[in-house]
Amino acid sequence: MDLTPRHATRRRSKADVREACRAAVIAEVTDQGLGRLSIEGVARRADVAKTSIYRHFSSVEDLLLDALADAMPVEQVSVHGNALRSDLLRSLEQLVGWLGGPHAPAVAAILAERRRRPDLVEALYARVFETHGSRFTRTVMEHYAVRGDVDPRLITPVVADLGEALVLKHQLDTGELPAPNELAAIVDEAILPALGHPRSLEKGPPT
């Protein structure tokens, strides 16, 4: 028998409440879909009063976008020297980690409702993706452009999208996320050549 008074479970710090709400909204949208997402469902799942949620977030959509933005990995670049290849690879590993986590299905739920909720899709790109470099690998590319290792004119929307496009296509075709050697192939065979670093095939087998 649990004798803890119910209000005790609610005496949580502001940070705890925000965190509980974020986890709950992601679980709710994944289970229920966007159409049935409600502040009541989130409150129940997080064991938080509706009024507490509204103290932190203006709406259930606001909470959802906050939770997604909070979970986006921050792309890292090496501090010393030219590590373009390994930095690109790490960025794709972060993407794969994110795709394997709980937030990617929530993003898929939003994108699936594009026709009914174009406003929310637009807010997703503006608040979640654009504020995190717009595409995985883009922050890395721009870092090396500033250093002079990459011609900035090569960093077009198509080129910045190569990593995400090829990782998602792999998942679509196979139902699996790419393995490390498959990420390396994406970097070596597609991204680096597009950034002006063609493949060296000298050691390859004769044709």
Residues that bind a second copy (CB under 8 A): 111, 114-115, 118, 121, 125, 151-154, 156-159, 161-162, 164-166, 168-170, 172-173, 175, 182, 185-186, 189-190, 193-194, 196, 198-199, 201, 204-205, 207
> What would the two tokens of residue 177 be?
């996320």
Report the residue number, 46 or 160, with the smaller CB distance to a second copy. Answer: 160
Distance in Å from the first CA to the final CA of the chain: 74
DSSP 8-class letter at 189: I
CB 109, min distance to a second copy, A? 13
> What would the two tokens of residue 29 be?
């949208």
Report the residue number, 51 or 200, with the smaller CB distance to a second copy. Answer: 200
Report the residue number, 10 or 196, with the smaller CB distance to a second copy. Answer: 196
**SS3 call for 69:** helix
CB 18, min distance to a second copy, A? 29
CB 201, min distance to a second copy, A? 5
Q: Where are the alpha helices (DSSP H) in the chain?
A: 6-10, 14-32, 39-46, 50-56, 60-71, 84-99, 103-111, 118-123, 138-147, 157-160, 162-174, 180-186, 192-194
Of 13, 25, 39, the C-alpha closest to 69 is: 25
Which residue is listed with tokens 């990617």? 104
Report the residue number, 20 or 195, with the smaller CB distance to a second copy. Answer: 195
Residue count (the chain) = 207
CB 6, min distance to a second copy, A? 39
Report the residue number, 48 or 167, with the smaller CB distance to a second copy. Answer: 167
Which residue is listed with tokens 């960093």? 155
Report the residue number, 93 or 182, with the smaller CB distance to a second copy. Answer: 182
CB 169, min distance to a second copy, A? 4
Rounded Cα gap, residues 144 and 148, in angstroms: 6
CB 172, min distance to a second copy, A? 7
With beta carbons less than 8 A apart as the criterion, state whether 92 and 73 touch: no
